[in-house]
Structures are given as C-alpha cells and as structure tokens.
Amino acid sequence: MGGNVAKRGLNAPKGLDPAGRELWAAAQRHLRAQGTWQDDADTPLLESYVRSVSLARSAREIAAEQPFVEGSKGQLVAHPGLRVAAEAERDACRFAGALLLTPEARQRHDVRAPDHDHDLPFLVAVG
C-alpha cells in the first residue's frame, strides 16, 4: 500500500450515496487518528458499518413519509421500513463497536478518541 493511500484514506466503495461516502471518509479519519485503523482487516468491517448506517437512514426516511400502512387484513401497521431501519441500526452499532468507534468499545480496549475529532457525533448518529 502506497504512502499516499495511507495518508488520504481508501476510496469509498462503489454504490454509496454522498452521505455514505462522507461517513466512510470521516470514519477512516477517526480510526487513523486514534491509531486503530488496519486497512486489510478493517476495510470490510467499515464497509458493513457504512452500508448499515446508509440503509437505516434510507429506511427511516421512507417510513417517515407514511409511518403506518395498511396491513394484509386492512388494519394499520407500522411501516415495514421501521423494522428494516431498526435492524440496520443494530448492525451498525455492532460494527461501530468492533471498529472501536463507540465510547464503550474504546474504554473497554483502553483507546482514546482523538482530541480534535469533530466527526465523532456524525459517526455514531444513525437515525
């Protein structure tokens, strides 16, 4: 891996929307700054984290337009996107913990967040 890639970070995977690409870059900056980023080991995990966050956001946006829909028997039920969002958020939290992006995971592994990290609220905000 060349020196330039290590300094500027890996390109975001194909298919991410602008918010997903921004999250990809912010997470890499954070992980590099806290000294825990390992390209080969962390790249697939970071992609799973970013895709889970993106899916959760998309599903919540769609469900927000119509939080209740008609069920198979004509009754009102919660929009299916709410369940998709909740599952994706749980996945994202699990991936964030594995990447040491959460305060609890960092404390458990005695890792300090970078003092200058302005991306942290963005990294852990899913919904």
pLDDT in tens, the chain (127 residues): 344 444 568 999 999 999 999 999 999 999 999 999 998 899 999 999 999 999 999 999 999 999 999 999 999 999 999 999 999 999 999 999 999 999 999 999 999 888 765 665 656 565 5
pLDDT, position 100: 95
Tokens at 80, concatenated: 């299916």
Q: Give dist(CA 37, CA 101) in Å, integer.
A: 11
pLDDT, position 83: 97
For residue 68, the cross-strand partners are 78
Tokens at 104, concatenated: 């609890």
pLDDT, position 118: 62
**C-alpha distances in angstroms, 42 versus 39, 54, 68?**
5, 18, 38
